[in-house]
Structure formats: C-alpha cells, structure tokens
Structure 1
Amino acid sequence: MGLWKRLYRGRFFRRVLTLLCISVPAFGILVLLSPGFPEIAPSSLGQVAKSETGLSETKLGDLALLMIAMLPDDLAFTVFAPSEEAFERVLKLQPSISLMPDKMNGTIAILSRVMGFCAVPLHLPSKSVPVLEELALDSVSGLRIFCLEDSGGTLLANNVSSDWVDLRKGEVIVHVMGGVIMDAEFELSFAPDYEE
C-alpha cells in the first residue's frame, strides 16, 4: 500500500516526466545536428539481382538498388521498385545526374519516401498473387497496395504493371514496375506545372 501512496502523490510520475523532458529535447537536438542522410556504400550500386530460380539475371537500375539498400537485406520484404524509365519519366531522376554528390541528399530523400510507399514487410513472390482477384497489402508507410495477376500473367500493383518479377537481393523480393507506386499527395509534388 505504501508504494501506491508514493506513486499517487506523484513522485514517480514527476521523475518520469522530468526524464522525458530532458531526453526528448536532447534527442531532437541530436537529430537536428546530424549531417544529413546516412551514407550508402558505393559498393551496393551495380549489384546484380537474381531471380528466385537463379536461372536469369538482370541488372536493377542504380536508383532502385540504392532504394533497396535502405532496407535490411536479412528481413522479409517485397519491393515494387520503379524501373529506370519510371524513375526518369515520373520522378525526373536520372542516375547520371541524381547520384552526383551535390544532388545525393535530395535523391535519397525522394528514394526513401518512394521506398516507404512500395515496400511491403512480407515475402510475396508472383506465384502467390491471385489471378484476377485483388490482394490488399499495407506498405511500410501505410499506403494500401492492391495486387493481382491479370489474365495475361502480368503482375499489377495499384494498376502499375510489372516489367520483371521475383528478383532477389538477400531476403528482399523485388518486382520491377513500369511506374511508381505512391500516394496522391506525393504524386502532386511531381505533377507538371501547366501555364494557362
């Protein structure tokens, strides 16, 4: 009973509140003083992704590899990664320009946001996607992704068709898509400005 009286009088809660008041601003200051985004090792660029069977190999684009390198490769993830053409067409990112040191922070900011939209924390090989029946998934950022296989055998995710499926990088399954999966608000930031 004595413990409850002390807790009730507020000594315990005052100490917890004091600890929070000290640690939260200190953490905020550390975040603000950090020198930008973490460095990504250049050796992660240009790696070859293998299909699940290992028979066919294809090179993922540098931007997709950089985006996938942000995920831990020892955990189960599925990524609906944009193709190089989709990065350029939709997000206006070109590897030759976007990966230059003076543009790298902006590129990583965009890639990390896109990764949140198109990464799902589970393994989803294409053979697990139902034919002509939508499978609802939640991405890392909470965006709802609806997957299905159309009658022609093409994987669709939020009506974006796949170019390549079932590529692997560690434990990560990668489906290379012909577009970019993102929410409407982020999409507006890349919409062309039309002048009347």
Structure 2
Amino acid sequence: MMEYQKKTRKGSYLRSLVPLLFMFIIFICLLLFLSLSLPDVSLVKHSKETYRRLVTRKNSMEEGLGELGELMVSMLPDDLPFTVFVPSEDAFERIVQLRANISLDEDKRNNTVAILSRLMGFSAIPQHLPSIMVPMLKEISFDSVSGYTLYAWKASNGTLIVNNVRSEQVDVRKGETIVHVMDGVIMDAEFKQSFETDDED
C-alpha cells in the first residue's frame, strides 16, 4: 500500500511538473523571438557589437546610395575601417551637377571619377563612426583622409549633422565601411567655388 502511494505521489508530481516545464520552454522561446525581432535599444557606447547590429539592420536601405554613391564608396578598401559621408543623389545633382545617367557615360566618366575621388578625400575618415557614437548637441571633430576637418554633432531630433550638412540616412554598411548619406556635399570652400555659377552669391 505504501509502495502504491509513493508511486501515485511521484506520478502526480511528474504530471504537475510537465505543464510548468512546457510553460518555461514557451517563455524561453518567446524571449528568443523578441530578442531577434526587436531593435537593439542599448546605448552602450563604444561597443562594437552594438554598432554592428545597428548597421546590419540598415543594409536593406543601401539603395539610397545611388550609382554615384556606390562608385564613391567603392574607391575605399572594403576591409579597413572607414566612415564616409556620401551625398544623396539629389545633392550630387543639385550641388556638383553630377547625374548618374549622364555623368557615368564613357566620355564623362573620367571627369566624374576625378570629382568623386576629390570629394572622398573631404568626406571620409579612417575610422568607424556609427551615428550612435555622435553626441547630441555636442560637436566632435575628425580629420578626413585629406586632412580636412569635419565637425559632427546630432540635432535634438537625432539627425546627424556634419559641417552643417544634414543626414538623410545613417549607418549603411559596405564591407568594413560605414556610410552616412547626406543632403549636401562636404568639401572645402576652394573646391566648392569650382561648382558655383556666376549668378550665385
């Protein structure tokens, strides 16, 4: 009789343990699902993993670079850490009169590549600078690969601003390069003059 009662108690204990175990497994699966599907909101600065997750999420938006932007980024080695501030397609056309469907024609391509490589010198820095590392309302400075000084900060709405040029899209990953698409062109005053027409102030 005692043996039977022990077996019965053991059986009921196992029966009550099964639903608990099942609920625990569901809870773990739910946590895993949420951690994979929700964006990373960690603000752990200087964490490589944080910005890698951030820029990886942006990969689906690479079409914002356009042909000229892609060509500009391709000039950098993709296995070294760089950050580049690439003009948007509209900014290329509006400020330096470059349009992919015309400027990349065979007879104009060399001139276009020369302009892009000069712009690259002004707008690329030889280190990673994900947008999460730029402070809000506090300016930080960097030297570009050509020695031109870049001043970066974030507006109160979170928009990245570099040398008074606002970002349209941030943290696009191309190999080891981080790309920020800008609504303007970063260059020095002397180079800028070569694109200004006589009727401009």
The residue number in structure 2 matching 1:99 is: 104
SS in structure 2 at match of 1:167: strand
Q: 2:55 aligns with which of 52, 71, 75?
A: 52
The TM-score with structure 1 as length reference comes to 0.72
Q: Name the larger-Rg structure.
A: 2
| 1:12 corresponding residue in structure 2 | none
The answer as to 2:133 corresponding to 1:121 is: no
Given that 1:51 and 1:57 are in contact with CA atoms closer than 8 Å, whether structure 2 keeps it comes out as: no
Deviation, structure 1 residue 54: 2.6
In 2, the alpha carbon distance for the partners of 1:184 and 1:192 equals 14
Q: Which runs of 5+ in 1 are unaligned?
A: 1-49
How far, CA to CA, are the matches of 1:103 and 1:55 in structure 2?
32
1:178 is aligned to: 183
Measured on the aligned residues, the alpha-carbon RMSD in Å equals 1.5
Look up the equivalent residue of 1:112 and give its one-letter code. Answer: S
State the identity as a percent.
Answer: 58
Partner residue, 1:110: 115
Distance 1:89 1:159 in 2: 16
The 5-angstrom pairing of residues 157-196 of structure 1 reads 157-194=162-199
Q: Per residue, is there more strand in 1 or in 2?
A: 1
Could you tell me which residue of structure 1 aligns to residue 85 of structure 2? Answer: 80
Aligned partners of 1:66 and 1:103: how far apart in 2? 14
Q: Quick check: 2:131–2:170 contact (8 Å CA) kept in 1? A: yes
SS of residue matched to 1:185: helix
Alpha-carbon contact 2:82-2:128 (below 8 Å) kept = yes
Contact 2:124-2:144 at 8 Å conserved across structures: yes
How many residues get paired?
A: 146
1:132 to 120, 133, 137: 137
**Shift of residue 136, structure 1, vs aligned partner:** 0.4
Q: TM-score, normalised by structure 2?
A: 0.70
SS at match of 2:57: coil
Cα distance, 1:194 vs. partner? 2.4
CA contact (8 A) 2:58 2:171 kept: no
Q: CA deviation at 1:51?
A: 6.2
